[in-house]
């Protein structure tokens, strides 16, 4: 077996892509399986994409300065401390390529996002998984799991697929407690859904061992264009730029992302709509005997009696043209992760879960 064959493959690790993105033979599929924004991107971002048609023969900017400046302006950050990637997945990949490798450990928690394991293995690092406490990241368990080989500690806040998050005091305790050679990566893919939360940006500025990653795939509705970014101390940015390809992000993605981040009214509307529909969905599911933890993101983790019931409900939903996500691969076999859709989507999935709980198969 070659070294590469020994590593994880995105294709093998079905839990990330979820296996099915369409349902053959079923028309009108409602996709609530990938935490996408059901309202799509800002109209300004769509216009920006159309304008790019005239630039398709041109290589994109290699320093991404227009997008970095827009992010800095809108979020009150330093443009020189930003790096852009083809999705935040690529920033996570850069971190593992640059700081991981043989003899190093990459730590994440038991229900942590799949990409941490994929990237750790691809870089030759040893993945180290620590327990959570009732589906919430446990700072003490992480600190106890660190060794002199730990190079990266990943937590998503809010977390996927649990939807839970920890407070800033806990994050600060984590940043202060990890070993000197390690970096804490705060994955803020869902940060925009939390009112008043900066994803850890200020902490990045205060410390030399914290990195924040963000994406345009969630609230900004640009998953198909593959664009994300990271915020880190200058020394880390310099290292990441050494593993980044010069044209890693397309001109279309850069233009759409800049327009999207500048359309703050649209983002605010998506945040408010998501909060309202999320509350409605979790209450409707609870009324049907399917509880969920309080979610801070754009999905709910619906809990069933056992793994068998969760699987049977998923199969029933598929028959109704509803795609949600089984999360057994994340150590949550009795749960289904359901993205907060638009109002018809939320009503449809709540109704179908109700029918299933009432005995429909």
Contact set with ligand PMP (CB under 6 A)? 35, 87-89, 113, 115, 156, 160, 187, 189, 215, 217, 223, 228
Q: To the nearest 10°, the Cα dihedral for 64, 244, 212, 46?
A: 40
Can you tell me the distance from the alpha carbon of 320 to that of 79, in angstroms, rounded to the nearest whole number?
47
Strand 322-323 to 30-31 pairing: parallel
**87 or 341: CB nearest ligand PMP:** 87
**113 or 266: CB nearest ligand PMP:** 113
Q: What is the DSSP string of 19-68?
A: S-SS-TT-SS-EE-SS---TT-S-HHHHHHHHHHGGGTTSPPPSS-HHHH
Are residues 195 and 111 in contact, defined by beta-carbon separation less than 8 angstroms? no
CB within 8 A of 272, min separation 6: which ones? none
**156 or 171: CB nearest ligand PMP:** 156
**48 or 225: CB nearest ligand PMP:** 225
**152 or 352: CB nearest ligand PMP:** 152
**81 or 298: CB nearest ligand PMP:** 298
Can you tell me the distance from the alpha carbon of 159 to that of 296, in angstroms, rounded to the nearest whole number?
9
**117 or 357: CB nearest ligand PMP:** 117
Least gap, CB of 126 to ligand PMP (angstroms): 21
Least gap, CB of 187 to ligand PMP (angstroms): 5
Task: Select the residue whose beta carbon is closest to ligand PMP and give its number.
Answer: 87
Kindly list the strands in the beta sheet with 335-339, ordered across the sheet, starting from the edge strand earlier in the chain.
299-303, 335-339, 325-326
**226 or 262: CB nearest ligand PMP:** 226
Using a 10 angstrom Cβ sphere, with 0-12 exposed, 13-18 middle and 19 or more buried, the burial of residue 167 is exposed
Mark out the alpha helices in 303-342 (DSSP H runs). 307-319
Least gap, CB of 199 to ligand PMP (angstroms): 11
Are residues 356 and 312 in contact, defined by beta-carbon separation less than 8 angstroms? yes
Least gap, CB of 113 to ligand PMP (angstroms): 4
Least gap, CB of 354 to ligand PMP (angstroms): 28
Least gap, CB of 173 to ligand PMP (angstroms): 21
Contacts 24+ apart (CB under 8 A), 22-31: 22/323, 23/318, 23/321, 23/323, 26/318, 26/319, 26/321, 27/321, 28/321, 29/321, 29/322, 29/323, 30/321, 30/322, 30/323, 30/341, 30/344, 30/345, 30/348, 30/349, 31/323, 31/339
């Amino acid at each position: 077996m070659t070294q590469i064959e020994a590593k994880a493959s995105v294709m093998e690790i079905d839990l990330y892509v979820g296996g099915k993105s369409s349902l053959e033979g079923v028309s009108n599929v409602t996709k609530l399986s990938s935490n996408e924004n059901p309202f799509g991107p800002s109209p300004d971002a769509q216009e920006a994409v159309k304008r790019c048609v005239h630039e398709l023969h041109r290589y994109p900017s290699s320093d991404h300065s227009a997008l970095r400046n827009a992010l800095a302006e809108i979020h009150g950050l330093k443009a020189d401390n930003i790096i852009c990637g083809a999705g935040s997945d690529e920033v996570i990949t850069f971190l593992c390529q640059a700081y991981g490798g043989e003899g190093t450990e990459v730590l994440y928690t038991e229900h942590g996002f799949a990409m941490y394991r994929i990237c750790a293995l691809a870089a030759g690092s040893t993945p180290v998984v620590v327990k959570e406490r009732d589906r919430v990241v446990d700072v003490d368990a992480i600190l106890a799991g660190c060794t002199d080989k730990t190079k990266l500690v990943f937590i998503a806040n809010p977390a996927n697929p649990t939807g839970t998050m920890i407070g800033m005091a806990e994050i600060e305790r984590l940043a202060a407690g990890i070993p000197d050679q390690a970096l804490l990566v705060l994955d803020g893919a869902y940060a925009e859904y939390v009112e008043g939360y900066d994803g850890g940006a200020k902490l990045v500025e205060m410390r030399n061992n914290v990195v924040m990653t963000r994406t345009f795939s969630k609230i900004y509705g640009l998953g198909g264009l593959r664009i994300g970014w990271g915020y880190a101390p200058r020394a880390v940015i310099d290292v990441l730029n050494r593993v980044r390809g010069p044209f890693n992000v397309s001109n279309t993605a850069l233009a759409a992302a800049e327009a999207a981040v500048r359309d703050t009214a649209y983002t605010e509307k998506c945040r408010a709509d998501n909060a309202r529909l999320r509350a409605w969905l979790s209450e409707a599911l609870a009324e049907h005997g399917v509880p969920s933890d309080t979610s801070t993101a754009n999905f709910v983790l619906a809990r069933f009696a056992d793994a068998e019931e969760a699987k049977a409900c998923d199969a029933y939903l598929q028959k109704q043209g509803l795609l949600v996500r089984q999360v057994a691969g994340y150590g949550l076999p009795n749960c289904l992760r359901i993205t907060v859709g638009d109002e018809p989507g939320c009503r449809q999935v709540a109704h179908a879960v109700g029918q299933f709980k009432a005995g429909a198969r």
